[in-house]
């Protein structure tokens, strides 16, 4: 008897906002998901770099035929291993595929690995199908080739999305003060690792969104991770109405650009953490505060940490000296008092 392939449960990602995915269609148009298809029910067919066309067609041919109206948008996204060959691949596909499908097929501008954790893209040999509602949230997902039962389920999900008026069903109430959603923006190092771990441990934190430049090693039900660079940060729509954003160790220009986006997201509290004395000057802080005056900006600075290996012997001596005089470091000098990353994280959460 042949062993049937087992698929992991995808219910974990039901209800999450679909992360930013930039693609280029065969028509050479930029398609940004979910932004391009906002206000529509959308079916995405993500093809891993080692997947096959037969599995892809088992979904798309059937679903496109059943839902041909303008209310449902369809997009096949092909992940490739070498981005330098993207234009060459697009030109070849355009020759082989009828013009009417050129806006329905796109090449991902991002590597498969960047979305692997967030969307449970566990196998590059597979097809991954997603249905997004009009707000860009995942309401259905499946992995592998279609079968009769899964086609029934996806058809039902699409139909329900089309006939359900979410505005009428929406219940508006006061935000819970017991649990909050926190977004973390920055890089993962020894200090921020403790910070994220502390966020995970806190019962008062409901959800943690990590906005990083490369995938992290974190795996937890509370964590929703997106890979996004500075230029694309303005395109994300997943931090709206979060209670808090932590901006970790960013330089002045990056910090200013990120706060400009955050200013449009109805966020109550912004913590700006600086662990590098040279990245943000006092004048630059005042400039940001003046530019974004209504925002609640909380500046948290600390520059000396215990338990980290010093790159130079002189740095080690400085740390040793500061540790010796730490009882006398007050006021503006308290930021130089040596502290462990864990204790620092505990203090600022």
Q: What is the reported pLDDT for 3?
A: 44
Do 200 and 329 have their domain in common?
yes
Give the distance from CA 30 to its chain's centroid. 19
Q: Which of 151-165, 176-190, 250-264, 319-333 has the lowest mean pLDDT?
A: 319-333
91 part of a folded domain: yes
Strands of 269-274's sheet in order across: 223-227, 205-212, 180-186, 244-248, 269-274, 297-301
Do 218 and 91 have their domain in common?
no
Do 216 and 141 have their domain in common?
no
Tokens of 8: 């992991």
Residue where a domain terminates, one of 116, 138, 166: 166
CATH of the domain at 236: 3.40.50.720
Distance (Å) of CA 212 to CA 104, 144, 204, 228, 249 = 29, 28, 23, 6, 12
Do 152 and 220 have their domain in common?
no
- Compute the distance between CA of residue 166 and CA of residue 132 in angstroms, rounded to an integer: 13
Residue where a domain terminates, one of 137, 166, 195: 166
Do 231 and 253 have their domain in common?
yes
Q: What is the pLDDT of residues 289-319, one digit of tens each?
A: 889 887 889 998 765 565 556 555 556 555 5
> Is the model's pLDDT at 1 over the cut of 50?
no
> Is the model's pLDDT at 323 over the cut of 70?
no
301: domain range? 180-348
Mean pLDDT of 172-188: 79
173 part of a folded domain: no
Q: Burial-class residue 326 by CB neighbours within 10 Å (0-12, 13-18, 19+).
A: middle
Task: Please give the helix or strand (H or E) that residue 140 lies within, else none.
Answer: strand 138-143
Do 139 and 206 have their domain in common?
no
- Compute the distance between CA of residue 18 and CA of residue 208 in angstroms, rounded to an integer: 15
CA angle, residues 326, 328, 331, in degrees to nearest 5: 100
CATH of the domain at 86: 3.40.30.10
Do 186 and 248 have their domain in common?
yes
Supply the pTM of this predicted model: 0.81
> Is the model's pLDDT at 278 over the cut of 80?
no
SS3 content of the chain, % helix, strand, coil (to 5): 35, 25, 40
Do 238 and 271 have their domain in common?
yes
Cis peptide before 34 (omega within 30 of 0): yes
Do 134 and 264 have their domain in common?
no
Do 184 and 160 have their domain in common?
no
The residue written with tokens 């499946």 in the block is 142
274 part of a folded domain: yes
Q: What is the pLDDT of residues 199-208, one digit of tens each?
A: 999 999 999 9
Q: What is the reported pLDDT for 324?
A: 58
3 part of a folded domain: no
Do 202 and 122 have their domain in common?
no
6 part of a folded domain: no
203 part of a folded domain: yes
Do 205 and 315 have their domain in common?
yes
Terminal CA-to-CA distance of the chain, rounded, Å? 54
Q: Burial-class residue 65 by CB neighbours within 10 Å (0-12, 13-18, 19+).
A: exposed
The total of structural domains in the chain comes to 2
Q: Which long-range contacts link 53-62 to residues 24+ away (Cβ below 8 Å)? A: 54/145, 55/126, 55/127, 55/144, 55/145, 55/146, 56/127, 58/127, 58/145, 58/146, 59/127, 59/129, 59/145, 59/146, 59/151, 59/154, 62/146, 62/151
Q: Which of 36-50, 80-94, 115-129, 289-303 has the lowest mean pLDDT?
A: 289-303
326 part of a folded domain: yes
Helix (H, G, I), strand (E, B) or coil at 171: coil
- Compute the distance between CA of residue 203 and CA of residue 255 in angstroms, rounded to an integer: 29
1 part of a folded domain: no
């Amino acid at each position: 008897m042949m062993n049937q392939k087992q698929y992991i449960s995808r219910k974990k990602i039901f209800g999450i906002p679909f992360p930013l995915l930039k693609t280029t269609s065969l028509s050479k148009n930029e398609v940004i998901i979910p932004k391009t298809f906002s206000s529509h029910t959308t079916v995405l067919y993500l093809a891993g770099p080692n997947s096959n066309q037969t599995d892809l067609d088992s979904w798309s041919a059937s679903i496109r035929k059943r839902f041909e109206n303008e209310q449902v948008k369809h997009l096949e996204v092909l992940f490739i291993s070498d981005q330098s060959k993207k234009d060459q691949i697009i030109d070849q596909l355009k020759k082989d595929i009828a013009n009417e499908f050129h806006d329905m097929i796109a090449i991902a501008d991002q590597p498969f690995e960047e979305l692997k954790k967030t969307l449970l893209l566990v196998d590059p040999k597979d097809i991954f199908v997603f249905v997004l509602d009009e707000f860009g949230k995942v309401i259905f997902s499946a992995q592998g080739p279609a079968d009769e039962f899964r086609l029934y389920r996806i058809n039902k999900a699409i139909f329900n999305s089309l006939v359900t008026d979410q505005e009428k069903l929406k219940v508006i109430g006061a935000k819970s003060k017991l649990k909050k959603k926190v977004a973390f923006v920055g890089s993962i190092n020894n200090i921020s690792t403790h910070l994220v771990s502390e966020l995970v441990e806190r019962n008062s934190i409901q959800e943690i969104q990590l906005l990083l430049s490369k995938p992290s090693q974190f795996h937890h039900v509370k964590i929703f991770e997106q890979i996004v660079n500075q230029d694309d940060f303005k395109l994300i729509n997943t931090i709206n109405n979060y209670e808090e954003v932590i901006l970790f160790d960013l330089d002045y220009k990056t910090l200013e650009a990120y706060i400009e986006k955050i200013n449009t997201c109805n966020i109550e509290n912004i913590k700006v953490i600086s662990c590098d004395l040279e990245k943000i000057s006092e004048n630059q802080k005042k400039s940001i505060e003046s530019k974004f005056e209504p925002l609640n900006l909380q500046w948290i600075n600390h520059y000396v940490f215990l338990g980290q290996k010093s790159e130079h012997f002189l740095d080690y001596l400085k740390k040793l000296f500061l540790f010796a005089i730490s009882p006398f470091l007050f006021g503006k000098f308290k930021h130089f008092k040596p502290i462990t990353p864990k204790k620092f994280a505990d203090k600022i959460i």
